[in-house]
Structure 1
C-alpha cells in the first residue's frame, strides 16, 4: 500500500539480493529501498537540505513485534502446513524490509510451550492446533536463518510465567505444570506459574535458556507479563507461598516485586555468562509510578506497573539488569492520564547515564483502529524520539497493524522517517570488539551503477557509505543520508553494486561485530570510470 515506483535497486554482486523482494521502490525524488535499506548519497543531500529537514540518524533500532499467542500475527491460524507457515513468516520479513525496519521481535514461548524442539516444554498449540505435536520443522531455526539472511536482527520473545490462556487447559501429559501442580495457580481466567517459588524461577529460566544456548539469537526479550495484571476484587493466590518463602518482615507487595527482580537479575547474568553478545531487553507497561505515588515517578495518573504487575522497571535500569528497556508508551500526545511526550521524557531521563538502551514501544494498532485521531500521530512520535539523544529507536505492536494500514498512518511514518536504512545502535552494557579496519579495493562505474569491492576480515555486518568527498569522520558516519546499505558479511561476499548511482563522490565501508561495535572506516575511494 506504500506509494512507490519501481526503478533502481541495490544488488549484491555474485549473491542474491538481501531479501526476497529484489526491488522495493522509492518515493519520487527519494532513495530506493532494498532489503530494509535505502540508496542514498550526495545527490540526496541537496534535496534534503533544500527542505531544511534534519539529517536522519545512521543508527536507530526499528522493530516490530511478531505475536504468536492466540495466532495474532504468526502463524495466522493453528494447523497450517509447513510451507504455509514458512510463506507467512517470509511475508512478514518482506514487510519489515519494505518498511525499512532492521529487527524483528518474535514470540517463541507464548504459554509455557515452545516454537523449537525444547528439552523442557512441549511444542506450542499455536503451531499445529495440538499442544505437543511436532510441526514438521524447526520454526525458531528457520526464523533466525531467514531474518539474518536479510540483515535483520532477531530477538526471541519469551513470556516467563503464563502457562495457558484458560484456567483449565488441555495440557499434554508430561507438561511441567501437570507434573508439578503445586507450581501453578489460576487467576483472572488464565493459568500461571507461581513467581514466588524459587524452583519455578529456576525452571522458567532453564526453559528460556534452552533456546538461547542452542540458537543464534541476537536478543532475549520479555514483555509486560510478570505477575498477572490485577483483576479488581481478586488477590493473587500466593499467601501460602509467601508464608513459606518469606520471614514476614517484607510486605507481600515488596516480596512479589523482589521475586520479579530476581528473575530479571538472574536471567541477565545467565545470558551474559552463556553468550555475552546477546542483548537482554524488557518491554514493561509504560508507566512505572505516578508522581502522586512516588516523587521519582512521571507526571501521569494512569495504572502503575509497579503495582499492577509487580514490575519495578525503573530499578532494572538503575541496577543495570537489562541491556535495553522498551516501555510500551501506547498513548497519544495530550492524553489526559498518560501523555506520550511526558512519558518519553521521563524514560529518557531515567536511562540517562545508565548505559541501558531505550527503545520506545509504539501502539501501531491504535493508529489503525482509529484511537489515534491524527494520521500523523505515529510519525509525530518519531519527531520527538529522534530529538532526544537517549532514545535509540522504536518498536511497533504489532506486525498485523503495520501491514493493515487502513488509515495511512504507517505510510506517513515510513515516508517521513524510514526512507533510508539504519544501523542497530551499540549498547554500552553489551561487551564487544570492533573488527579490524576494512579496505575498499575498488569503486568502479559499471553499466548498472557503481560496483564496490572490499575486504573486511572478522566482520558480522558491513555498512556501505556514499560520501560527497573523501572525508570520513564522525559527522559523515552519523548522517543517515550517506548510508547506502547494511548487509550481512556472508551475504555480500565482498561485493555490492549500488545500482542507479551516477558515479559521483566516494565510497567507504565500516565493519561491525555481533554487538554493533564499529570499526575504523576504510579510506574513501573515488569512483573509477568504466573502461570504454
Structure 2
C-alpha cells in the first residue's frame, strides 16, 4: 500500500507540473499583442496624466498642515514619477473656491476641513507646482467653472467672500446644487478674470476644465435660466442654441485670455465621451448613449476643435471595448476623425480619459478583465491622432484593482516619455544648452546643465547611451529623464547609472511649446 501511494503521489506531482506549465503557456498566449506593442516601439512622446480630485477630498485628505501636505505631495509625485507619469491634473477650483492664494475666490474648505475661506497657512498649489516641476512633471490646474456647491450644501456654507454670496443674482439652484448662471455676462467676466489671475500668478503648464458645463439634466426639472435668456438671448430662437453659445463664448474668452497672459500655457478640456449619437445627428458617433454633450450639457465640443479654442481635448471614454451602447473603439475612432478633419486648420492634441475607477468595480463584465484598460492604451497608441491618456483618478490608480496598474507600469509605461508638443503656437526650435558637465559620484552621475541663451528653454531632455557611441534620439529607451530649467543652472542626479560602466550623455533643450532643439550637447566619459 505504501509503495502504491508513493507512485500515485509521483503521478499527481507530474500532473500538477503539467497543469502549471499549460496554464503558464495559456496565460502568456493571452498577452503577446500587448507585450509586443509595449516593447516594439515605446513612444517617445505620450501624455501620461492622472487626475487628482480635491472635491469632497476624493484624492487628498483635509486638515494637513504644511509639513504633512508637502510630505503627501512628495510621496504622491514620487510614486507617479516611478510609474513614468509625466503630468498631474490637480483640481484647484472644485466649487467656486481656491486651492491657491486668490483675491477672487475664498480658500477651499476641502483643504482645512473647516469653513470655506479658512486659510491653511500655506499655498497648496504652489507646493504642488514646485514638487511636480522638480520631478520633470507638468502641472495642469483643473477648474470647475460654474459649480458653486455640492449636493445638500446651502449658500450659508460658503464664505462671505464667495462670488455666489457677494452676487446672489448670479446664482441659480438646480436639483440639490447651486451654480453660477452661464448666461450672465458678469459671470463670464468673473470666470475669465479668475483664470487670468491663476495664470498670471502661478507657473502652471495648462488650465484644464472637465465635463461640468451646464449640469447633467434632472428628469422633470428645468434649468432656471429663462429670465437670463429673455434678457440676453434675443438673437437666438431657441434657448438651447443660446446656452451652447454661452459655453462657446466662455471657452473662446478663456483661451484668448490665457494666450494673451502667457502664450505657452495650454488650455485643455475633458468633455463627456459622446458629442451626439447618430440617431440624432448622422455625423455623430454610432452609439446609444443616454447623455450627449451637444444636447444635454450644451457643450459643443466639435466647435472648440474646429475653431481651435483649445490646445487639447480629452474625451472621457469611460466604457469598455465591448459595451454595445458606447464601445471604446467606436468612440476612439470618432474623436480621432474629428481632430484629423480640422488638423490642417486648427491642430488640437487628442488625449483620452480612461476609467481606472471602473476596473474590477463595474456592472459591465468587461471591467472584470484586468487587461481591459491596458488594451485601451494599446488602442490609443495604434491610433495615429491620439497622443496619450489621462487616468481617473489617483486613488483608483493607487488601488490597482486586479493588478491592472502593475501591467500598465511593467509593459506600457516602462520607459520615460515626453509630453506631446503643441507646435502650432510656436514652432521655433530652441538652441542646445550652453554647457553640460558630468561627474561620477557615489550615488550616480551628477549632471550640471548651464544655459546663457537669451530665450531660455523650459525643459531639457537627457539621453544616455552605453559606451562612447551615440544612439537614436527617437528611442524612448535612451531617455534618462526630463527636467525643468532652473534659472539657467540645472542639476540632475542620474541614480540609475552604474559605477562600473562608461556612458555618453546627450542633452537637448525643450521649448515651452515642447519643441526639441535640433542639436544636443554631448559628453563622452
Q: TM-score range by the shorter chain?
A: 0.7 to 0.9
Deviation at 1:175, TM superposition (A): 2.4
Deviation at 1:295, TM superposition (A): 1.9
Which of structures 1 and 2 has the bigger CA Rg? 2
Deviation at 1:203, TM superposition (A): 0.7
Deviation at 1:167, TM superposition (A): 5.6
Moved more, 437-446 or 380-389: 437-446
Name the SS of the counterpart of 2:368 in structure 1: coil
The one of 64, 67, 82 aligned to 2:66: 82
Distance 1:313 1:84, change over 3 A: same
The one of 37, 44, 66 aligned to 1:58: 44
Deviation at 1:53, TM superposition (A): 3.3
Deviation at 1:513, TM superposition (A): 2.1
Q: Which residue of 1 aligns with 2:296?
A: 308
The one of 325, 334, 346 aligned to 2:334: 346
Distance 1:447 1:246, change over 3 A: closer
Q: Which residue of 2 aligns with 1:144?
A: 129
**Superposition TM-score, scaled by structure 1 size:** 0.84
> Which aligned pairs between 1:49-128 and structure 2 lie closer than 5 A?
53-74=39-60, 76=61, 78-128=62-112
Q: Which residue of 2 aligns with 1:41?
A: none
Q: Which residue of 2 aligns with 1:367?
A: 359
Q: Give distance in 2, aligned partners of 1:207 and 1:49.
A: 45
Q: Give distance in 2, aligned partners of 1:442 and 1:463.
A: 15
Q: Give distance in 1, aligned partners of 2:408 and 2:37.
A: 18
Q: Give distance in 1, aligned partners of 2:75 and 2:521.
A: 38
Deviations 1:84-115 (A, max 9, x none): 33322222212211211011010011110111
Distance 1:471 1:211, change over 3 A: same
Confirm whether residue 156 of structure 1 aligns to residue 154 of structure 2: no
Moved more, 455-464 or 208-217: 455-464
Q: Which residue of 1 aligns with 2:386?
A: 391
Deviations 1:68-92 (A, max 9, x none): 1111012x1x333333333222222
Distance 1:312 1:472, change over 3 A: farther
Name the SS of the counterpart of 1:369 in structure 2: coil
Confirm whether residue 511 of structure 1 aligns to residue 509 of structure 2: yes
The one of 465, 481, 486 aligned to 2:482: 486
Q: Give distance in 1, aligned partners of 2:399 and 2:335.
A: 30
8 Å Cα contact 2:447/2:494 also seen in 1:
yes
Name the SS of the counterpart of 2:401 in structure 1: coil
Name the SS of the counterpart of 1:59 in structure 2: coil
Distance 1:498 1:410, change over 3 A: closer
Instruction: Write 1 or 2 for the structure with the bigger share of helix.
Output: 2
Q: Give distance in 1, aligned partners of 2:495 and 2:401.
A: 36
Deviation at 1:467, TM superposition (A): 3.9
8 Å Cα contact 2:115/2:159 also seen in 1:
no
Q: Give distance in 2, aligned partners of 1:299 and 1:470.
A: 54
Q: Which residue of 2 aligns with 1:18?
A: none
8 Å Cα contact 2:287/2:327 also seen in 1:
yes
Q: Which residue of 2 aligns with 1:402?
A: 397
Q: Which residue of 1 aligns with 2:406?
A: 411
Name the SS of the counterpart of 1:264 in structure 2: helix
Distance 1:81 1:50, change over 3 A: closer
Name the SS of the counterpart of 1:395 in structure 2: strand
Q: Which residue of 1 aligns with 2:187?
A: 200
8 Å Cα contact 2:278/2:285 also seen in 1:
yes
Name the SS of the counterpart of 2:387 in structure 1: strand
Deviation at 1:413, TM superposition (A): 1.1
8 Å Cα contact 1:112/1:160 also seen in 2:
yes
Q: Give distance in 2, aligned partners of 1:257 and 1:480.
A: 42
Deviation at 1:312, TM superposition (A): 0.4
| Unaligned segments of structure 1, at least 5 residues | 1-47
Q: Give distance in 2, aligned partners of 1:373 and 1:180.
A: 48
The one of 438, 458, 461 aligned to 1:460: 458
Calculate the aligned-residue CA RMSD, in Å: 2.5
Moved more, 260-269 or 409-418: 409-418
8 Å Cα contact 1:463/1:487 also seen in 2:
yes
Deviation at 1:439, TM superposition (A): 6.2
Q: Which residue of 1 aligns with 2:419?
A: 424
Q: Give distance in 2, aligned partners of 1:384 and 1:512.
A: 28
8 Å Cα contact 1:456/1:494 also seen in 2:
no
Confirm whether residue 337 of structure 1 aligns to residue 325 of structure 2: yes
Deviation at 1:431, TM superposition (A): 2.6
